[in-house]
Amino acid sequence: MKLKFIEEKIFNVLMIVATLIVFGFFASIVWTIVKTGLPSLSWEMISQLPGGGFYLGKEGGILNAIMGSLMIVLASALLGLLISIPIVFYINVYLKKKSKLAYFTRLSFDVLFGIPSIVYGAFAFTIMIALGLKTSLLGGIIVITLLIIPIFVRSMDEVAKSVPSDLLDAAYSLGATKLEACKVVLRQIAPGIATATLLSVGKAIGDAAAVMFTAGFTDNIPTSLDQPAATLPLSVFFQLSSPIPEVRERAYAAALVLTLIVLVLSIVGRIITNRFSKNKLI
Amino acid sequence: MSLKKSFRPGYKFVRQSEGAELEVRNLNVHIKNNHILKNVNLVLPDKKITCIIGPSGCGKTTLLKTMNRLIDSVEGVRIDGGILLNNENIVGSGEKIINLRRKIGLVSQKPCPLPMSIFDNVAYGCRIHGIRNRRKLRMIVQYYLEAVGLWDEVSNRLNTPAARLSVGQQQRLCLARSLAVEPQFILADEATSALDPISSRNVEELFVKLKQDYSIIMVTHTLHQAKRIADHVVFMYLGEIIEAGPANEIFTNPQHQLTKEYLSGAFN
């Protein structure tokens, strides 16, 4: 056999192996969570607030954490989008290709992207102390918004950068203003925005460190922005550190709920993406 | 005498474009340190097809892009001199740029449909210029799709994505889209070079029909095409206009040595 065919075979096998390794990790994580968590997952668990002795293995559920997480994630995803989309359009449509400002903006978002979430939490915490604020739903929403903006901006930016300049020219040559051209670009990058949202939501819902200091933890569902809010990752964390086996198993059930929420959001996101990408140019 | 009569008479919203004039005066364009266009002087005749020919890199596209100010988005560009549309200088003015581009449509080399349906592609220009009435939009869309000979092919799937059309159809769609904002001039930058021979011929014939109502300025690399359809020819070389005049004169009796060589295929 000629060398180039052998080479082709080898790389083909390497790619399959790499893919299988990742899939293997995913499957084993899911398996661990499902195996340990499914037995203690019950309707009671997802429909009730923690009872008096919940963390000692008595009755109750994690509805507080589910609701807290959903509130924080949905609100910060919305806020994050509202802030990120103008940034992306500004650096891609309004600024010139080699603009220094665009370069530094991208650079700073790259740095922000790499900052661990505990630092965001600590940073927000010091500001909250300075302002005399207590841990609250609002604090959680703000810090998670800050945490996911870099993900939003950088992933949408990559998509926006790949929009052909012909498309902008086509809109301009019909007499479009930059804002109108942005709307055309928006249609083209809609699938990218959906993907960015999924990535951000995935990161936001799974983060424990940032919300620990800012949103706090509570056994109740917050009814206003200044009340503390529980979150699923923290709920998992607190239960997992319990010495009682029953409670630790519940931690896996909570993790399972968390995973299922991410799964549902991803599927919904994909469906929406497909609907939006109907008109996309290749 | 108008396109409107030749295709579908009776649409009153179609604006007549009588006696539009485009004149280039002492135009110099620098991009960074490169002197791209050197002292270009040109009068573009109304309701004629003017073909700009010349070897690659001679500034043809830059000239076109300067005419509708798309050049503005190029980094480090400096424009001196003037381009006069109906005796108004279009170089350097900030706000008028939108109105200018309405009057000077551009069809690019590779068709670039907007990421929306066929209908919305044609209606886009009208919408951004304030036409919202659906009935009127439908009339405009049908009118211009008929004008480019696309209506019969797409009338039953106006709401499907424009990206699904063939390249030849896309190019005609882009032309319809440009026409729908009712320009006076159409700039065509090698508008047929990405098309197969049949689509290419279709678009060419379309240009010949359209010159009843529009002044068409096209850049082309194929001399045969220029010979077939040009009324006027401009020959450019290294950013300068070497020779310009009526097509038959240039093709049968070129004055300049460079033009002779280019027309005989003697240089690349």
Examine the domain organization and report whether A146 and A178 are in the same domain.
yes
Whether residue A206 is found in the same domain as residue A228: yes
User: Concatenated DSSP letters for B41-96?
Assistant: EEEEPTTSEEEEE-STTSSHHHHHHHHTTGGGGSTTEEEEEEEEETTEE-SS-STT
Which has the closest alpha carbon to A59: A250, A254, A258? A250
In this structure, are strands B77-85 and B232-237 parallel, antiparallel, or unpaired? unpaired
CATH of the domain at A213: 1.10.3720.10
Query: What's the number of domains chain A is made of?
Result: 2
Whether A12 and A54 share a structural domain: no
Domain that holds residue A81: 43-278
Q: What is the pLDDT of residue A58?
A: 73
- Does any CB of chain A come closer than 8 Å to the CB of residue B101? yes
pLDDT tens profile A138-185: 999 999 999 999 999 999 999 999 998 889 999 999 989 899 999 999
B181 contacts in chain A (CB < 8 Å): 174-175
B110, B115, B181: residue with CB nearest A188 = B115
B187: number of Cβ within 10 Å:
27
Q: Identify the pLDDT of residue A25.
A: 95
Residues whose CB is less than 8 angstroms from the CB of residue A142 and which lie 6 or more positions away in sequence, other chains included: A76, A124, A214
- pLDDT for position A185: 92
Q: Which of A73-82, A213-222, B54-63, B124-133 has the highest mean pLDDT?
A: A73-82
Give the pLDDT of residue B8: 37
Q: Please tell me whether residues A245 and A142 are part of one structural domain.
A: yes
Pair A9, A128 in one domain: no
**Does A53 lie in the same domain as A30?**
no
Residues of A with Cβ-Cβ distance to B125 under 8 angstroms: 174-175
- Least confident piece of the model among A4-8, B1-5, B38-42, B122-126: B1-5
Please give the mean pLDDT across all residues of chain A: 89
Chain B residues in contact with A174 (beta carbon < 8 A): 101-102, 105, 124-125, 128, 177-178, 181
Residue A138 tokens, joined: 């609002």
Residues B259, B243 contacting (CB under 8 angstroms): yes
**B153-171: per-residue pLDDT in tens?**
999 999 999 999 998 899 9
Confidence tier at A85 by pLDDT (50, 70, 90): very high
pLDDT (average), residues A97-114: 92
Q: Is the pTM of this model over 0.90?
A: no
* Cβ-based contacts of B117 with chain A (< 8 Å): 279
Same domain, A220 and A169: yes
Residues 6+ apart with CB under 8 A from A21: none
B170/B111 Cα distance (integer angstroms): 6
| Residues A226, A126 within the same domain | yes
- The token pair at A45 is 């668990």
Substitution target from B69, B122, B124 for chain A, most A beta carbons within 10 A: B124
Residues A103 and A33 in one domain: no
Point out the least confidently predicted range of A114-118, B121-125, B138-142, B208-212. Answer: B208-212
On whether both A265 and A212 belong to a single domain, the answer is yes
Q: Give the lowest-confidence range in B13-27, B81-95, B204-218.
A: B13-27
Residue B70: the pLDDT is: 86
The pLDDT, as a whole number, for residue B93 is 63
A26 and A89 in a single domain? The answer is no
User: Chain B: residue nearest A277 by CA?
Assistant: B115
Q: Within a 10 A sphere around the Cβ of B138, how many other Cβ atoms?
A: 13
Q: What pLDDT does A218 receive?
A: 87
Residue of A nearest to B107 (CA): A170
- CA A185 – CA A281 distance, rounded (Å): 11
Distance from CA of B246 to the nearest CA of A (A): 28
Same structural domain, A65 and A33: no
Among the partner residues A96, A169, A282, nearest to B108 by beta-carbon distance:
A169
In 3D, which of B256, B7, B101, B259 has the Cα closest to residue A180? Answer: B101
Q: Of the candidates B181, B241, B177, which has an alpha carbon nearest to the alpha carbon of residue B44?
A: B241
